[in-house]
C-alpha cells in the first residue's frame, strides 16, 4: 500500500496539511501501540507494524519536498541516492556559485540573506512542480527535484554556518 | 533471592486474570524521585508519613547491613560516605569511556576492570554494584511507598526517562524496573510527561515548549497539542548538564577560597560530599535572596563562605546560554520560531533559579507556566499515562527519536538510517553492498548521534552478517532494518537479499567505544558541520579511489598480457602515485591522481572490452549472433 492510500488521501502533489494531520491522528488512534497494552503479543506486533507504517507515511508526506520525491517515485522517476555527484551542469554551476557565496559570508546577516534567497527559490521551484507533473515531463521533474534537494541541503549548511558565526562572536 | 522472570523480547506477560492491579507513574530522577497515581484523570503524588513526595535518589548500604533509600540514606552520607551513592542516573548505561563527562561530580570508586565492554560498576559498601541494581533499590522503595499508600500490590508502572537518554540508558532503566519487580508499561520521555500533566484542560491547543533542567540532565522539547493528541515535533538536550554542575561550581569555588587562605585540604570522598551538600544549600538559598553563606568544616578546619546571587549567576551563565542555544536548535529543527510558541512549561528543580526563569521568558517572549510543582509534574504526567494505558484513555501520545541512528560504512562514515525527530514506532531499512570481490561477511556497526564520522558518535552494537555468497564487489544487496519501538528501544536486523541470509539482533550497547560523550553529540554536530563535510568528502574520495585501484588490480591480474612493458611501467607508476595521494589529506590531489590513472588505463580498458566481445562472439554462426543481439 502506498503512503497516500494508507492515510486515505489522494496521491497528489498538493496536500492540505490539516487534512493530513487529521487522517494521521485518526489512524494512530486506532493503531498506536499504547492502545494495545495488555493485548496478546500478535495483536501488539500488528499494531507496532501498522503504527510504524503510518509514521513513515506521515513523515514522507508532511514535507513538500519529500512528498514530491515520493510521488515522482510512484510515477517511475527515481532519483540517485542522496549525496551522489550532481550530473546537471546548470545545477553544478549554481551550486558552486552559492557555496562560494556562503563561504564568503562573514556575518550572520549575510548568511540570513543567502538562506532567505534559497528558501524563495525552493518555494518557486515547488510551485512550478505542479505543471511539470501535469505534463508528465519526467526529465524536467527529475531536474527540478535534484535542484530542490540541493537547495534544501544548502539551507541546512547555511544554518550550520550561522551557528558557527554566532558562537565565534560569543 | 528469587529468580527473575525473563520474557521474550518485546513481550510482557498478561496481567493476572481477574486481578485488577493499579499502575503508577514514576519519575526516576537524578536528584529526587517521585511516585504518583492517577484515578479518573486526576493525578496525585504519593507522600510519606511526613507528607513529603520527593524521595532523594540516594542509596546507602550501611555497615550495619540492609539497604537505605532516600532521606535515611542522605543522613548516612556524611558518616559513611563509602557506603552511599547519589546521582546514579548519570551512570545508567555508561561505559568507562563515558566517565570523563562526570568525573569530579561523582566521588565514587569505580570497580577496576568494569566498563570496558559492559556498564561501569561502583565499589559501594565494599561490593561491586551496577547502576542498574542501585537504581532498582530506588524503584523498590518507590514501589513500597505506593503499596503502603494505596494498600494494594503494585506491579506495573510508567517510568520516565530524559528524552535525550540513548538506547543504552533506556535499556538500563527498563532492566532496573525488572529487578525491582515492576513491569514497565511504557518508558515515557520526561518533557512529554510534563506536557501531559499540563494538558489536562483540553482547552489548551497549539505549540508548547517544555524546558526541563533537572539535577543532571537538560531537555528541550516542542509539542503540538490538539484535541487530546500530544505530538512531539522535535527534541534536543544534554544528558550531562544540570543542577549538579551548579553545585560543583560553587563547591570548587569554596575549596579554592580555602586554598587561598592556606588550608591544605585532603579532598577525599567524604570531603567532596560535604562540600557539595553545602554548595547545594547555598544555591537553593540564592533562589530566594541576593546573598547566601555557610560554614564548611573539613578535617576539623572550619571556614566561612559567602556568595552573592550576581556572582553565582555569572558562574552559571555559560551553562544557561548553552540551554538556550539547544532550544534554538530544536525550534529550527521543527521549522518554528520562538513567536510560534504559545507557552513554555518549566520542569525540574533547577528551573527555580530566577536566572533560568528570566532567560526562558526572554527567549520565548512569554512568561513560563509554573502552576504545577516542577519537581512533581513529570511523575504526575507519568501517572496519567499509566492510567490511560491500563484503563483506556482518550489521549494519544506521539513521540519521536531524539538522536539519529545509523551504520558505519567504508572509511568510518556514518550513514543515517533513522534521522532524529522521526515519529516512533518506526521501521526503516536501507540497502548496502560489498566492497571487495568475493566478500562473504559484512561487519554491521550500529551508531547513534548526529556527526558524520563514526568516531564522533556513540557506538551501540556490532555484529557480523556472514554467509554472503561470493560475488563481485557491489553486487550483493544487504538490507539492514532498524526498528524503534514505542519505548524508544532499537532492534536491528540484516539480510542478504539474493539468498535470504538473515540475522537479527536486539541492540545491546557496546559501552566505552565512543570518544565523545553522547551529550555533546548533537551540539557538536552543528559546530562541526563544515569540518565534517570536508572530512566526509576526503573519506569518500579515498574510498572511491581505493575501489578503482582494486578493480584495476583485478583486471591486471586477469588481462595484464594486453599491456606492453612500457605501458605497464607507466600504469604502475600512476597506481603508486594514487596510493601516495590516498595516504595524504588532500582530496583534490586524490581526485587528480585518480583521474590521471583513469585516463592512462583507458586504452587497457578498451582492449579488455574488445577481447571480451571477441571471446563472446568466437565460434558463433550468423544466425546465433542475430538471436543473441535480439535478446
Instruction: Output the CA–CA distances (angstroms, integers) from residue B462 to A37, B356, B545, in the order listed.
Output: 31, 41, 27
Q: Which residues in chain A (47-106) have CB-CB distances under 8 A to chain B? A: 48-49, 51-53, 55-56, 58-59
CATH architecture of B405-525: Sandwich (2.60)
**Cβ distance B448 to B460 under 8 Å?**
yes
Domain borders along chain B are 23-242+315-398, 243-314, 405-525, 530-617
What CA dihedral angle connects B606, B609, B614 and B616, to 10 degrees? -170
* Residue A95 backbone dihedrals phi, psi, to 5 degrees: -65, -45
* Residue B182 backbone dihedrals phi, psi, to 5 degrees: -115, 135
B379: distance to nearest CA of chain A, Å? 18
**Partners of B484 in the β-ladder:** B426, B490
- How far is residue B631's CA from residue B624's CA, in Å, rounded to a whole number? 11
- Which of B226, B398, B426 faces A56 most closely, judged by CB atoms? B426
* DSSP per-residue letters across B159-201: EEE-TT--HHHHHHHHHHHHHTT-EEEEEEEHHHHHHHHHTTS
Write the pLDDT tens digit of every residue in B97-108.
666 555 444 556
pLDDT of B38 reads 92
Here the ipTM equals 0.85
Q: Please state, for a pLDDT cut of 70, what percent of chain B lies above it.
A: 84
Write the pLDDT tens digit of every residue in A84-142.
566 777 888 888 888 888 888 888 888 888 888 888 888 998 888 888 888 888 888 98
| Residue in B14, B155, B425, B474 to test binding to A, most A beta-carbons within 10 Å | B425
Assign B23 a pLDDT band (cuts: 50, 70, 90): very high
Across the interface, whether the CB atoms of B8 and A38 are under 8 A apart is answered: no
B486 touches chain A (CB under 8 A): yes
**Cβ distance B346 to B239 under 8 Å?**
no
pLDDT of B263 reads 82
A21 touches chain B (CB under 8 A): yes
A37 neighbourhood in chain B, CB within 8 Å: 185-186, 389-390
CATH architecture of B23-242+315-398: 2-Layer Sandwich (3.30)
- Which of A29, A38, A58 faces B14 most closely, judged by CB atoms? A38
B15 neighbourhood in chain A, CB within 8 Å: 38
**Partners of B64 in the β-ladder:** none
State the catalytic residues of B: 27, 89, 190, 212
| Residue in B398, B411, B421, B491 to test binding to A, most A beta-carbons within 10 Å | B398
B543 touches chain A (CB under 8 A): no
Write the pLDDT tens digit of every residue in B168-197.
889 889 889 988 889 999 999 999 999 899
pLDDT at A80 over 80: no
What CA dihedral angle connects A147, A149, A150 and A154, to 10 degrees? 140
The mean of the pLDDT values for chain A is 86
B325 neighbourhood in chain A, CB within 8 Å: 163, 167
B423 neighbourhood in chain A, CB within 8 Å: 55, 58-59
The yes/no answer on whether domain A3-62 falls in CATH 1.10.287.110 is yes
pLDDT of B20 reads 57
**CB neighbours (10 Å) of residue B152?**
13
Assign B2 a pLDDT band (cuts: 50, 70, 90): very low
Hey, is B78 helix, strand or coil?
coil
The mean of the pLDDT values for chain B is 81
B253 touches chain A (CB under 8 A): no
At the topology level, CATH places domain A89-169 in Monooxygenase (1.20.1280)
CATH number assigned to the domain with residue range B243-314, chosen from the 4 options 3.40.50.300, 3.20.20.80, 3.30.479.30, 3.90.640.10: 3.90.640.10
- How far is residue B163's CA from residue B168's CA, in Å, rounded to a whole number? 13
pLDDT of B502 reads 66
pLDDT of B623 reads 43
Domain borders along chain A are 3-62, 89-169
Question: CATH code for B530-617?
Answer: 1.20.1270.10
Q: Is the pTM above the cut of 0.95?
A: no
Instruction: Output the CA–CA distances (angstroms, integers) from residue B554 to B508, B551, B599, in the order listed.
Output: 39, 5, 18
pLDDT of B57 reads 94
Write the pLDDT tens digit of every residue in B518-577.
333 333 434 455 566 677 677 777 877 887 888 888 888 888 888 888 888 888 888 898
Q: What is the DSSP letter of B388?
A: I
pLDDT at B234 over 90: yes
Amino acid at each position: 500500500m502506498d503512503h497516500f492510500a494508507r492515510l486515505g488521501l489522494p496521491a497528489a502533489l498538493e496536500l492540505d496539511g490539516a487534512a493530513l494531520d487529521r487522517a494521521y491522528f485518526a489512524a494512530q488512534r486506532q493503531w498506536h501501540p499504547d492502545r494495545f497494552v495488555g493485548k496478546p503479543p500478535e495483536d501488539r506486533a500488528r499494531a507496532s507494524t501498522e503504527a510504524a507504517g503510518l509514521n513513515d507515511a506521515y513523515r514522507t508526506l508532511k514535507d513538500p519536498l519529500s512528498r514530491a520525491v515520493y510521488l515522482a517515485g510512484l510515477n517511475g522517476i527515481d532519483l540517485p541516492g542522496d549525496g551522489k555527484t550532481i550530473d546537471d551542469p546548470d545545477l553544478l554551476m549554481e551550486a558552486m556559485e552559492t557555496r562560494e557565496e556562503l563561504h564568503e559570508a562573514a556575518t550572520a546577516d549575510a548568511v540570513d540573506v543567502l538562506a532567505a534567497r534559497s528558501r524563495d527559490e525552493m518555494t518557486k521551484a515547488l510551485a512550478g512542480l505542479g505543471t511539470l507533473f501535469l505534463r508528465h515531463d519526467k526529465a524536467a521533474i527529475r531536474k527540478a527535484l535534484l535542484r530542490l534537494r540541493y537547495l534544501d541541503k544548502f539551507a541546512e549548511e547555511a544554518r550550520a554556518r550561522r551557528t558557527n558565526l554566532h558562537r565565534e562572536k560569543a | 533471592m528469587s529468580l527473575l522472570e525473563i520474557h521474550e523480547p518485546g513481550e510482557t506477560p498478561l496481567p493476572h486474570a481477574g486481578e485488577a492491579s493499579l499502575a503508577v507513574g514514576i519519575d526516576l530522577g537524578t536528584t529526587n524521585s517521585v511516585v504518583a497515581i492517577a484515578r479518573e484523570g486526576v493525578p496525585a503524588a504519593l507522600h510519606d508519613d511526613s507528607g513529603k513526595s520527593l524521595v532523594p535518589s540516594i542509596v546507602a548500604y550501611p555497615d550495619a547491613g540492609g539497604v537505605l533509600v532516600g532521606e535515611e540514606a542522605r543522613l548516612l552520607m556524611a558518616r559513611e560516605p563509602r557506603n552511599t551513592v547519589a546521582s546514579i542516573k548519570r551512570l545508567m548505561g555508561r561505559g568507562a569511556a563515558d566517565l570523563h563527562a562526570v568525573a569530579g561530580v561523582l566521588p565514587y570508586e569505580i570497580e577496576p576492570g568494569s566498563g570496558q565492554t559492559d556498564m561501569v560498576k561502583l565499589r559501594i559498601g565494599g561490593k561491586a554494584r551496577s547502576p542498574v541494581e542501585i537504581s532498582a533499590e530506588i524503584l523498590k522503595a518507590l514501589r513500597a511507598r505506593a503499596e503502603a499508600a494505596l494498600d494494594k500490590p503494585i506491579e506495573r508502572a510508567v517510568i520516565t526517562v530524559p528524552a535525550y537518554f540513548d538506547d543504552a540508558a533506556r535499556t538500563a532503566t527498563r532492566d532496573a524496573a525488572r529487578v525491582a519487580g515492576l513491569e514497565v508499561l511504557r518508558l515515557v520521555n520526561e518533557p512529554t510527561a510534563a506536557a501531559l500533566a499540563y494538558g489536562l484542560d483540553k482547552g489548551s491547543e497549539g505549540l508548547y515548549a517544555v524546558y526541563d533542567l533537572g539535577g543532571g540532565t537538560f531537555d528541550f522539547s516542542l509539542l503540538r497539542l490538539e484535541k487530546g493528541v500530544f505530538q512531539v515535533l522535535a527534541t534536543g538536550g544534554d544528558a550531562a548538564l544540570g543542577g549538579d554542575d551548579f553545585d560543583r561550581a560553587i563547591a570548587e569555588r569554596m575549596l579554592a577560597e580555602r586554598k587561598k587562605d592556606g588550608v591544605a585540604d585532603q579532598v577525599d570522598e567524604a570531603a567532596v560530599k560535604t562540600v557539595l551538600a553545602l554548595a547545594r544549600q547555598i544555591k537553593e538559598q540564592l533562589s530566594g535572596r541576593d546573598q547566601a553563606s555557610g560554614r564548611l568544616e573539613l578535617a576539623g578546619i572550619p571556614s566561612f563562605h559567602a556568595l552573592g546571587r550576581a556572582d553565582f549567576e555569572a558562574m552559571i551563565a555559560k551553562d544557561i546560554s548553552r540551554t538556550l542555544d539547544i532550544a534554538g536548535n530544536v525550534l529550527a529543527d521543527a521549522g518554528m520560531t520562538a513567536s510560534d510558541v504559545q507557552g513554555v512549561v518549566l520542569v525540574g528543580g533547577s528551573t527555580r533559579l530566577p536566572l533560568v526563569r528570566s532567560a526562558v521568558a526572554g527567549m520565548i517572549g512569554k512568561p513560563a507556566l509554573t502552576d504545577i510543582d516542577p519537581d512533581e509534574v513529570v511523575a504526575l504526567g507519568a501517572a496519567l499515562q499509566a492510567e490511560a494505558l491500563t484503563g483506556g484513555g482518550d489521549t494519544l501520545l506521539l513521540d519521536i527519536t531524539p538522536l539519529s541512528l545509523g551504520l558505519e560504512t567504508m572509511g568510518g562514515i556514518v550513514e543515517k538510517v533513522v534521522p532524529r525527530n522521526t515519529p516512533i514506532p518506526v521501521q526503516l531499512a536501507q540497502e548496502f553492498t560489498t566492497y571487495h570481490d568475493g566478500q562473504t561477511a559484512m561487519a554491521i556497526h550500529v551508531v547513534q548521534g548526529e556527526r558524520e564520522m563514526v568516531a564522533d558518535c556513540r557506538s551501540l552494537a556490532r555484529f557480523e552478517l556472514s554467509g554472503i555468497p561470493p560475488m563481485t564487489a557491489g553486487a550483493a544487496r544487504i538490507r539492514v532494518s532498524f526498528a524503534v519501538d514505542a519505548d524508544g528501544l532499537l532492534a536491528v536486523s540484516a539480510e542478504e537479499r539474493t539468498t535470504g541470509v538473515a540475522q537479527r539482533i536486539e541492540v545491546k550497547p557496546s559501552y566505552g567505544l565512543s570518544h565523545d560523550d553522547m551529550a555533546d553529540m548533537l551540539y557538536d554536530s552543528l559546530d562541526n558541520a563544515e569540518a565534517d563535510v570536508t572530512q566526509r568528502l576526503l573519506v569518500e574520495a579515498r574510498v572511491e579511489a581505493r575501489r578503482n585501484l582494486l578493480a584495476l588490480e583485478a583486471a591486471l591480474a586477469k588481462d595484464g598480457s594486453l599491456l606492453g612493458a612500457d605501458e605497464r611501467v607507466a600504469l604502475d607508476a600512476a597506481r603508486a602515485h594514487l596510493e601516495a595521494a590516498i595516504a595524504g589529506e588532500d582530496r583534490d590531489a586524490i581526485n587528480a591522481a585518480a583521474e590521471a590513472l583513469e585516463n592512462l588505463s583507458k586504452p587497457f580498458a578498451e582492449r579488455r572490452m574488445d577481447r571480451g566481445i571477441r571471446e563472446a562472439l568466437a565460434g558463433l554462426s550468423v544466425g546465433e549472433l542475430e538471436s543473441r543481439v535480439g535478446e
